[in-house]
Amino acid sequence: MKLSLRNSFLIFCAITAIIFISLTLPPSLGDFDIRIVIILVLLLINANYQIEIEGRSFSINYPLLFPVIAFFGPGWASLLAAIGLISVNEFESPKFVFLFNRGSLALAAGFSALCFNQLSQSRGFLLALTVSTLVYFFVNLILVIITLLFDKETRNDIPFHAFIDTFKTLLPSIAISALFYNAYRYLDVFGVVGGFLIFISLRSGALLGLLEANYRISLIKALLRAVYAKDPDLMEHLEKVAYYSKLLAKRCGYPRWKLQILDEASYFHDIGKLEIADDILKKSSSLTLTEYKEMQTHPERGLLFLKEIPLPKTHRKIVENIALYHHERYDGKGYPFGLKGDEIPLEARIVAVADTWDAMTGKRCYREAMSPDNAIAELWRVKGTQLDPDLVEAFIEAIQAEIKHSPQNVTKKLPIQKAL
């Protein structure tokens, strides 16, 4: 198989990182503290989110790596960066991208450690820390830019503004790196763990995480109250689509860590209908062409509505994907963009199946509810044209299991609004 220049470069970075680690890693453990590797791998795996300082976000990965960079040298720093800085999302990336990420982070950490070791002996700690932080940033930056330049689709869209924003976070990164350095120097691994716990508490952990979760749930409930006040039937529809979406997501192997996010996000799929006039939403006869086109604007209206809501970063992409793309069709004949097949985000394809099912089995102002058997037959009919065929099959299996064990769950009115 002939590799593209881009993929060849991605592999080259990974191989270079392996060579760098093999050349710089000490032949024996010596005075190395294996506890710091174990602790930092566990912390780094859980640290791949951003923290906010004066409106700008940055990762605390480098500050956590810095004790190893400073005390144990380039080999261990590179190895730890390669195995520790892995986010859950990366396992969904193409294999070459995954290898590149491992290699680029390893090289950045390794060169950063080389600079720190050279400068700390002759120029002092502060200058060595500053330069090593800059080196880590610029090695990553240069490797990413080269990768983008190799790809025809991205070479004209290099996000320099994002790099500039990252550069502006270097000062707090340097300060926090110094704190972790001294925490390890004076308090051993317990200092590093303690410092990490303080940061996640301040961001979204034990002290403020519960408040953030409660705030998010309260926000969702407030929005749902508005929906219920405008249209109780729409409220019931949102509840059922969320229920069926989660049912399907479990069946089709959607990542378990995203299930709760998908569940919450599904409630927003038709939020744009709040801006559609009641005489269109509740019309008992067929819509005119003009009215239908107005109804088709609700995904984009929903996206604009969601832009004004302070959703968590872990939720925003999934929520927006669902709201904007749940009326795209698998054959490319949907709206608003005519996306086709896997171009449609997975969560939007999941919600599309659930939405279609409830649209058929729920009573509407213009028709009676369809029986589960007839709705299943209709799903088979639109499989592969309107809806993702694999998801349709998985959903039918899930629904048939529901009918067998709890028939009332298939068409029941879910009582979520009572808790509002």
The C-alpha atoms of residue 284 and residue 290 are separated, in whole angstroms, by: 16
20-30 confidence digits (pLDDT tens): 999 988 876 65
Spatial contact of 133 and 112, defined as CB atoms under 8 Å apart: yes
Q: How many CA atoms lie within 13 A of 65 on its CB side?
A: 36
Point out the least confidently predicted range of 1-5, 230-234, 307-311, 400-404.
1-5
Band (pLDDT 50/70/90 cuts) for residue 253 is confident
Greater pLDDT, 232 or 391 = 391
208-249 confidence digits (pLDDT tens): 444 455 555 556 656 666 666 666 777 778 888 988 999 999
Q: Would you state the pLDDT for residue 344?
A: 95
The CB density around residue 215, as the number of other CB atoms within 10 Å, is 13
Compute the average pLDDT of residues 69-80.
Answer: 87
Q: Would you state the pLDDT for residue 365?
A: 62
133-178 confidence digits (pLDDT tens): 999 988 988 888 888 787 766 666 665 655 666 666 778 788 888 8
- Of 145, 126, 124, nearest to 134 by C-alpha is 126
Greater pLDDT, 349 or 367 = 349
Q: Would you state the pLDDT for residue 273?
A: 82
Q: Would you state the pLDDT for residue 221?
A: 57
Q: What's the full length of the chain, in residues?
A: 420
DSSP annotation of 383: B
The C-alpha atoms of residue 153 and residue 137 are separated, in whole angstroms, by: 24
Band (pLDDT 50/70/90 cuts) for residue 345 is very high
Q: Would you state the pLDDT for residue 88?
A: 57
Q: Would you state the pLDDT for residue 50?
A: 43
The C-alpha atoms of residue 407 and residue 288 are separated, in whole angstroms, by: 37
Q: Would you state the pLDDT for residue 230?
A: 62
Q: Would you state the pLDDT for residue 51?
A: 43
Domain 210-419 sits in CATH 3.50.50.60:
no
269-314 confidence digits (pLDDT tens): 888 887 888 788 777 788 888 988 999 999 999 888 888 777 777 7
The C-alpha atoms of residue 48 and residue 60 are separated, in whole angstroms, by: 8
34-67 confidence digits (pLDDT tens): 776 677 766 666 554 444 434 444 567 788 888 8
Q: Would you state the pLDDT for residue 207?
A: 39
Greater pLDDT, 229 or 402 = 402
User: Left, alpha or beta for 341 (phi > 0: left; psi -120 to 50: alpha)?
Assistant: left
Q: Would you state the pLDDT for residue 211?
A: 43
Token output for 289: 């062409």
Q: Would you state the pLDDT for residue 416?
A: 38
Compute the average pLDDT of residues 318-335.
Answer: 93
Q: What phi and psi values does residue 53 have, to the nearest 5 degrees?
A: -140, 115
Where are the domains positioned within the chain? 5-203, 210-419
114-135 confidence digits (pLDDT tens): 999 989 888 888 899 999 999 9
Q: Quick one: CA dihedral 136, 142, 145, 149, positive or negative?
A: negative
Band (pLDDT 50/70/90 cuts) for residue 404 is confident
Mean pLDDT of the chain: 78
Sequence-distant (6+) residues with CB within 8 A of 61 are 44, 47, 48, 85
Band (pLDDT 50/70/90 cuts) for residue 409 is low
Q: Would you state the pLDDT for residue 191?
A: 73
Compute the average pLDDT of residues 250-279.
Answer: 83
Q: Would you state the pLDDT for residue 194?
A: 75
Its CATH architecture, for the domain 5-203, is: Orthogonal Bundle (1.10)
pTM, entire model: 0.51
pLDDT surpasses 90 at 256: no
